[in-house]
Structure 1
Amino acid sequence: MKIITAVVILGCLLVVELEGQARFPKGRCFCADKGVNMVPSKLIEKVEIIPPSPSCKTQEIVVTLKNSRQKCLNPESKFIQKYIMKVVEKRSLQKK
Structure 2
Amino acid sequence: MEIKRTVMAVLALCLLCSTVVESMSLSRVQELRCFCLKTESTPIHPKHIQNIEVIPKGPHCKNVEVIATLSNGKEVCLEPTAPWVKRIIDKILASSKTPAPSTL
What TM-score do you get using the length of structure 1 for normalisation?
0.69
In structure 2, C-alpha distance between the alignment counterparts of 1:61 and 1:34, rounded to whole Å? 9
| Root-mean-square deviation over aligned CA pairs | 3.1
Count of residues in Structure 1 that have an aligned counterpart in Structure 2: 94
| Cα distance change of structure 1 residues 86 and 24 upon mapping to structure 2, 3 Å threshold | same
In structure 1, C-alpha distance between the alignment counterparts of 2:89 and 2:31, rounded to whole Å? 28
- SS at 1:86 equivalent: helix
Q: Kindly indicate whether the alpha-carbon contact (under 8 Å) linking 1:37 and 1:80 is maintained by their aligned counterparts in 2.
A: no
1:24 is the counterpart of 2:30: yes
Q: Which residue of 1 aligns with 2:43?
A: 38
1:27-53 deviation digits (Å, cap 9, x = unpaired): x21111233342110111110001111
| Cα distance change of structure 1 residues 32 and 89 upon mapping to structure 2, 3 Å threshold | same
Question: Taking CA–CA contacts closer than 8 Å with sequence separation of 6 or more, which of the two structures ends up with the larger relative contact order?
Answer: 1
Overall identity of the aligned pairs, in %: 27
Q: Kindly indicate whether the alpha-carbon contact (under 8 Å) linking 2:55 and 2:66 is maintained by their aligned counterparts in 1.
A: yes
| Cα distance change of structure 1 residues 93 and 81 upon mapping to structure 2, 3 Å threshold | same
What TM-score do you get using the length of structure 2 for normalisation?
0.64
Q: 1:67 aligns with which of 68, 72, 76?
A: 72
Letter of the 1:36 counterpart = S
Measured after TM superposition, the shift of residue 94 of structure 1 is 6.5
- SS at 1:58 equivalent: coil
Q: Kindly indicate whether the alpha-carbon contact (under 8 Å) linking 2:39 and 2:76 is maintained by their aligned counterparts in 1.
A: no
Letter of the 1:70 counterpart = E
- SS at 1:49 equivalent: strand
